[in-house]
Each structure stands twice: as C-alpha cells, then as structure tokens.
Amino acid sequence: MTSLPLFETEPVSAIAFISPAKPGLQPQDIDWFLIEGRAFAQEHGLTGVSLYCGDQFFHYVEGTRAGIRADLERVSSGKLHQPPEILMQTTETTRHFNCWYMGFTDCTNSSAQEQSNIDWQAILPTTRDTPDMSKGIQLVTLYWSKWIAGMR
C-alpha cells in the first residue's frame, strides 16, 4: 500500500458516516468498490477505513475538505450505496491512518477481500492503542467490534 506524504499542505478534516448497501450486492461488486476505493483515496489524498457488514457500510475518512466532499459524492451517487448518514465530522484533526483500508466481517468469497481484511486487522491494534482516542476512532472501533460480535 502506498502511504501519503509526511507533510500536509492543507488542514486535515475527518468524517464518519454509514451507508446502507443497495440490495443484491455480489462479491464482485464489493471487490470493485475495494479496488476503485483504494485508487480514489490515493488520488484524492484520503486515508481511513471502510467497513462492510452484510448490508451496511461504515466509513471513516481523513483528508482535505475537498477530498472528503468528493468521496461523499462518490458514495452518494454510486451503485453500491443508499444515501449516507453522517455520524460525525471535524476539521483540523490529525491522521490516524497512513492509507485507506477496508475491513469485512465476512470475506469468504473473495481473495481480494481476504487480503484487504488481513491488512486492516494488522493495523487495527494501532487504532485501539491511541491514547486520546478521537470521536472518529471511537466510532471505528464501536462499529467493528459490534459487527464482529454479530450485533447490528
């Protein structure tokens, strides 16, 4: 995975939102979102994580306001998502991630999803060890923990 430059030229903002998946998604649809999302994030200087659990996506995105706005527009107009619900947003934060990750509660039908999940779970302990856990990281760990436990 490619990391972002060490120096920011604009303040970093963050947003967390959920977006229900459109009915009938197939593993190849999620693979497309994974590949396209990774390229989009790199192109727009975004970091963070998207989580997928059956019929719901959770997103935590860090970057410039313009990059975050473009990501929201991409998700809102995409073929995989229903309209997003914003859970939190903030400006002038620090990055918690060095690139964009994607985690899955079930990825048995795709080697791309399995590898992405390995990458996500390797970085996951870092998010839990953050001394002053931000609201965004609290939401990441809340959604991941409850989805892994089988709760919605």
pLDDT digits (tens, 9 = 90+) for 14-62: 999 999 888 888 888 888 888 999 999 999 999 999 998 988 999 999 9
Determine how β-strand 47-53 pairs with β-strand 100-104.
parallel
CA dist 49 to 6, 62, 100, Å? 19, 9, 5
Q: Are 18 and 24 in contact (CB under 8 A)?
A: no
On whether residue 5 sits in a domain, the answer given is no
- Where residue 1 falls among pLDDT bands split at 50, 70, 90? low
pLDDT digits (tens, 9 = 90+) for 89-118: 998 778 889 999 998 888 667 888 888 988
On whether residue 40 sits in a domain, the answer given is yes
On whether residue 1 sits in a domain, the answer given is no
On whether residue 68 sits in a domain, the answer given is yes
Residue 77: which domain range?
Answer: 12-147
Identify the pLDDT of residue 30.
Answer: 85
On whether residue 71 sits in a domain, the answer given is yes
Angle between helices 111-128 and 27-44 (to 10 degrees): 50
Q: Are 141 and 128 in contact (CB under 8 A)?
A: yes
Rg of the Cα atoms in the chain:
14
On whether residue 138 sits in a domain, the answer given is yes
Decide: residue 58, CB within 10 A, 0-12 exposed, 13-18 middle, 19+ buried: buried
Measured between alpha carbons, how far is 111 from 108 in angstroms, rounded to an integer? 8
CATH number for position 43: 3.30.70.100
Number of domains in the chain: 1
Q: 10 Å Cβ neighbour count for 59? A: 28
